[in-house]
Structure 1
Amino acid sequence: MAIEQGIWKISDHPQKLKPSALADEALLEDQVMKDIAILNSDWLLIGRQVRTSYDKYVDLLAMDANGSVIIVELKRNKTPRDVVAQTIDYASWVVDLSDSDIAEIYLEFAEKYSRPHASLDEAFEARFRTPLADITINDSHQMVVVATELDASTERIINYLNYNAQISINALFFAAFEDNGNHYLSRAWMIDPDENQERAITKGKKEPWNGEFYTSFGDDRPWELARRFGFIAGGGANWYSKTLSMLSEGDRVWVNIPKTGYVGVGIVTGERCRADEYQFDTEEGPKTLMEMGLTQKYPHLSSGTEDETAEYLVPVRWLHTVDKAHAFSEVGLFGNQNTVCKPTTPKWSHTVNRLKQVWKIQ
């Protein structure tokens, strides 16, 4: 289904802005270089016009907080089917890139385009507040085709690859508009990018999701407060809070503190809510954490913050918890930077089974 985009100026008589041709997609590429959020605010740009081993050039390479590599290809003057085929071809090259290959790609990119961070390690930690050494680079990859429009046949192909072949390829449509000499861009995803991220193509073996949710609880957050009042949390950027929306009442979550270990399992009892607004039951009636005077113990908690950067929580009824000193950690357990995810690797089933054994959970 073709996507039509429009922008209206709000007034007593709404006016539709005049569409203008996106004459040169290199201009769009230049804008993305200045702000990757034009494509996705949860990505880090790591390469531009990256030469492959068979002498072709990938328009843009990006990375997310899990180390997943994103191949971004602009349609330019290629036919819709050609650009999809070429993007998949580039993915066949990306899948074999080593950590050092990707680090080298970023080094060349940073030097050529005078990026603020000289190395991939520096850029990654500055962007995601997590050391690159703590994640697995290029364990999965995604593909994105950027175009002003695609034909119906190509859209059917992309949908088939996603929903039938479980291949993570998406389309991002841009439209340009003009108003009294001012120029604007609008964008629309063909498929929800969060869904696409879940289908990221992993190198390892996949298996059906076992129905158990993984949760990463940042080591800079107050785990003892979370144990006491019953919640999991994330925030500071959309990347860290949006996945909390995946949870519904009755879901079971297993909580891992990165670099520490697994510390709890519980049942979700409510929906995601801003942490400064959620009311807990106390002996003095319903109160927020702020009303209980706990902001000093919870430095991420503050009111008046914009929704995108606010702290969010999901209430949980704990089945079993331990303090950080008794966290369970051993070789072979699953780990991930997403605040919440639905893992489909054999390692996740192994992790849940081990935790059930250790904590005697039925």
Structure 2
Amino acid sequence: MPLELGVWRIDSGVTEVPISYMDQERRLEDILATDISIASPNWMVIGRQVRTSFGGCIDILAIDRVGNLVVLELKRDMTPREIVAQILDYASWVQEQEADALSRIFDSYQEKYLHNGFESLDAAFCSHFRTQHMPETLNENHELVVVASALDDSTERIVTYLSETHGVPINAVFFRLFKDDDREYLTRAWYRDPTGTEVLAEETTSKGTWNGEFYVNISSSYDWEKAQKYNYVVAGGGQWYSRTLSLLKDGGRFWLYLPGIGYAGVGIVVDSTPVTAKEFLVRQDDGTEVPLADLPDVDPGVMEDIDEPGKENFLVRVKWLKTLPQDKAIRERGFFAQQNSVCLPKAEKWDHTVKRLKKRFDIQD
């Protein structure tokens, strides 16, 4: 059944804060366009009222930090069937948009809504997500999000049916406005775990089957030489980055990518359980283990935020088969690359990439 949300003030007794419906749906659209992190910190708005060639306008078009698109459509006064049919129609248009089209959409968005000149999509993306490089491929997958002030039974049934039966990466999020005297509070609740929808988007829109080879990405904020020396891969700075480390399996082979530089290593997962930098132990030549934090030349990037819950760096123990210095990293046109810390790619591009890397690293199966 639909989710219900309540707010109570408890500083002087227990008083329920009453629900206050927004004056108009446009206000919610304005709020989300101004700060999309209210819905998800992993999104950046690139378009608003985006007109499609099929007719109609997408309320908000966003991009996530791996270059996938997110279509957000406000329910307004539409029936459940109308809103779902519309967002699916928009999805059929969105999946065809390539990088040049996305740049034009972002230019129009800046001109009409931001009035701040014409920053390139690439530069805006890097600034927003605090990364040095935009993903090499964009719009490989997409997500669909119905935005509403409440989730009715019919919409819930349709979203569940499409996602669970047909694997459509669709979700619903609803917002409630609460007023306490002259203060206003906005609450958010997702119908389905949004992390699960992100994974579903990649699994259902990618073609082919996974070849058993893991893709691993180490951010440029970490010291690649130290990762080689102390036999680990690392991700951190938030759950979005670190959660995919759990995809790794003991004994699995992985290929290590340095963002914007190239592939610099291939290794085997020794212990797939992610542990914090404070907990990670480095095995010495004599078999003893020493806490990474006690080593004199530990990577300061790995030790950042170790006492701040949610931002810790997590490490997985590996055995390197072959590595290359950063300036010798392998990069070829057509190689697979994205910003997930770990993924199990199903794209044909990944099969091609692994085949080429085996030759370049002289790895014999």
Using the size of structure 2 for normalisation, the TM-score is 0.86
Cα separation, 2, equivalents of 1:327 and 1:82: 50
In the other structure, the counterpart of 1:360 is 363
In the other structure, the counterpart of 1:240 is 241
The amino acid across from 2:43 in the alignment is W
The answer to whether 1:28 aligns with 2:20 is no
The amino acid across from 1:85 in the alignment is A
Gaps of 5+ in 1: none
In the other structure, the counterpart of 2:190 is 189
In the other structure, the counterpart of 2:46 is 46
Give the C-alpha shift of residue 150 in structure 1.
3.0
Aligned in 2, Cα 1:93/1:167: closer, same or farther, shift over 3 Å?
A: same
SS of the residue 1:290 aligns to: helix
In the other structure, the counterpart of 2:137 is 136
Cα separation, 1, equivalents of 2:229 and 2:10: 48
In the other structure, the counterpart of 1:110 is 110
Aligned residues: 360
Cα separation, 2, equivalents of 1:15 and 1:285: 58
Aligned in 2, Cα 1:268/1:164: closer, same or farther, shift over 3 Å?
A: farther
The amino acid across from 1:91 in the alignment is A
In the other structure, the counterpart of 2:157 is 156
Contact in 2 for aligned 1:166/1:199 (Cα 8 Å): yes
Task: Please identify, of 286-295 and 332-341, the stretch whose mean Cα deviation from structure 2 is larger.
Answer: 286-295
Cα separation, 2, equivalents of 1:201 and 1:339: 14
Give the C-alpha shift of residue 245 in structure 1.
4.0
Cα separation, 1, equivalents of 2:87 and 2:146: 7
Aligned in 2, Cα 1:291/1:319: closer, same or farther, shift over 3 Å?
A: closer
1:267 to 259, 266, 269: 269
Cα separation, 1, equivalents of 2:79 and 2:24: 16
Using the size of structure 1 for normalisation, the TM-score is 0.86
Cα separation, 1, equivalents of 2:32 and 2:112: 16
Write out aligned runs for 1:277-296 (5 A).
Answer: 277-281=279-283, 287-295=290-298
Cα separation, 1, equivalents of 2:23 and 2:253: 50
SS of the residue 1:59 aligns to: strand
Cα separation, 2, equivalents of 1:12 and 1:279: 49
Gaps of 5+ in 2: none
Cα separation, 1, equivalents of 2:77 and 2:151: 12
Contact in 1 for aligned 2:69/2:142 (Cα 8 Å): yes
Identity across the alignment (%): 36
Q: CA RMSD in A?
A: 3.0
Aligned in 2, Cα 1:14/1:50: closer, same or farther, shift over 3 Å?
A: same
Contact in 2 for aligned 1:124/1:131 (Cα 8 Å): no
Cα separation, 2, equivalents of 1:219 and 1:228: 16
Task: Please identify, of 101-110 and 217-226, the stretch whose mean Cα deviation from structure 2 is larger.
Answer: 217-226
SS of the residue 1:307 aligns to: coil
In the other structure, the counterpart of 2:17 is 17
The answer to whether 1:208 aligns with 2:199 is no
Cα separation, 1, equivalents of 2:180 and 2:290: 48
Contact in 2 for aligned 1:257/1:263 (Cα 8 Å): no
Aligned in 2, Cα 1:114/1:141: closer, same or farther, shift over 3 Å?
A: same
Give the C-alpha shift of residue 31 in structure 1.
1.4
Aligned in 2, Cα 1:243/1:342: closer, same or farther, shift over 3 Å?
A: same
Cα separation, 1, equivalents of 2:272 and 2:136: 30
Task: Please identify, of 276-285 and 26-35, the stretch whose mean Cα deviation from structure 2 is larger.
Answer: 276-285
Give the C-alpha shift of residue 131 in structure 1.
5.4
Give the C-alpha shift of residue 264 in structure 1.
1.8
Give the C-alpha shift of residue 53 in structure 1.
2.2
Aligned in 2, Cα 1:218/1:115: closer, same or farther, shift over 3 Å?
A: farther
Aligned in 2, Cα 1:204/1:85: closer, same or farther, shift over 3 Å?
A: closer
In the other structure, the counterpart of 2:301 is 299
The amino acid across from 1:4 in the alignment is E
Cα separation, 1, equivalents of 2:265 and 2:231: 13
Give the C-alpha shift of residue 74 in structure 1.
0.5
